[in-house]
Amino acid sequence: MIEEELVRQEAAARGLTVADDDMQLRTEQLLGYDREAASSAITETTTLTDTAAITESATATPQPQMSYDELYKQFRTNVLDITRFSEKDFRRMVEAQLLSESLIEALGENVTKVQDQVEGTMFAVATEEDAEALRTRLNDEGADPAAIVEEFDADDDSATIGYTFTWLPVGYIGSQLGTDVERAAFNTAVGNASPAVFGNDGQLYVVYVTGHEERELSESMLGSAQQQAYDTWLSEAKTSTVEYLDWEAAVVTE
């Protein structure tokens, strides 16, 4: 509820609103109603009715989807009535969901689209000796990282893992495996394997870097960055709200 109220306040401050048709469309989606399929079915029925000569098809007619009114009636009976959630509250919930999506998009406009990124192969090994042996193969002997990944896949040892990763910006590897692994990835020259470093999961990693450049974020990475911008805003907004409430509680009134 706190998040919903904060979203409403920020959306209002930014002039963000929800159109009635967007509300209706999201409600239909939540209920499993496909308005395009329904529209197509109506068009097809009209066409058939207006045709002079119609022969009965040997193919069984597909079962038409339930109407929106029927689906909503079921939803109201099986969900809203049972949970004692009013239709007004349900609509406010849908509205808040749409507002949060608009807010994510608005906050995401400040995300830098072109960022420093790396790509390569991540190896997890059991011991430092294994790591040095791996680095020797990659850096000195010119072994193919893809071939080593296949070796690791065939190995029964769960401590040895290898996988490739495509372009990732600063912050992503750190959030997944820790800052030491991320530093290794960004500080190692292209075509080389990094020294072994421990991840935040206690696992030893060696990063083989195949690319490092400033480039535009992929669609998925941009989405992650926009979500992170929203999460950061929400965390700060919650903290400010709690601090304000604590201050109010501390004020002595007569």
Do 42 and 135 share a domain, yes or no? no
Number of domains into which the chain is organized: 2
Do 101 and 137 share a domain, yes or no? no
For residue 234, being part of any structural domain is answered with no
Per-residue pLDDT, 36:
82
Q: How many CA atoms lie within 13 A of 127 on its CB side?
A: 4
Q: Would you give the end-to-end CA distance of the chain in angstroms?
A: 31
For the chain, where are the E strands, in sequence order?
114-125, 161-169, 192-193, 197-198, 204-216
The position carrying tokens 């690791």 is: 152
Q: How far apart are CA 203 and CA 126, in angstroms?
A: 7
Do 118 and 148 share a domain, yes or no? yes
What pTM does this model have?
0.70
Checking if the pLDDT of 62 tops 70, the result is: no
pLDDT grade for 246, boundaries at 50, 70 and 90: low
Checking if the pLDDT of 233 tops 60, the result is: yes
Domain holding 23, by residue range, is 2-51+62-108
Report, as an integer, the average pLDDT of 99-124: 96
For residue 254, being part of any structural domain is answered with no
Per-residue pLDDT, 241:
77
Checking if the pLDDT of 43 tops 70, the result is: no
For residue 204, being part of any structural domain is answered with yes
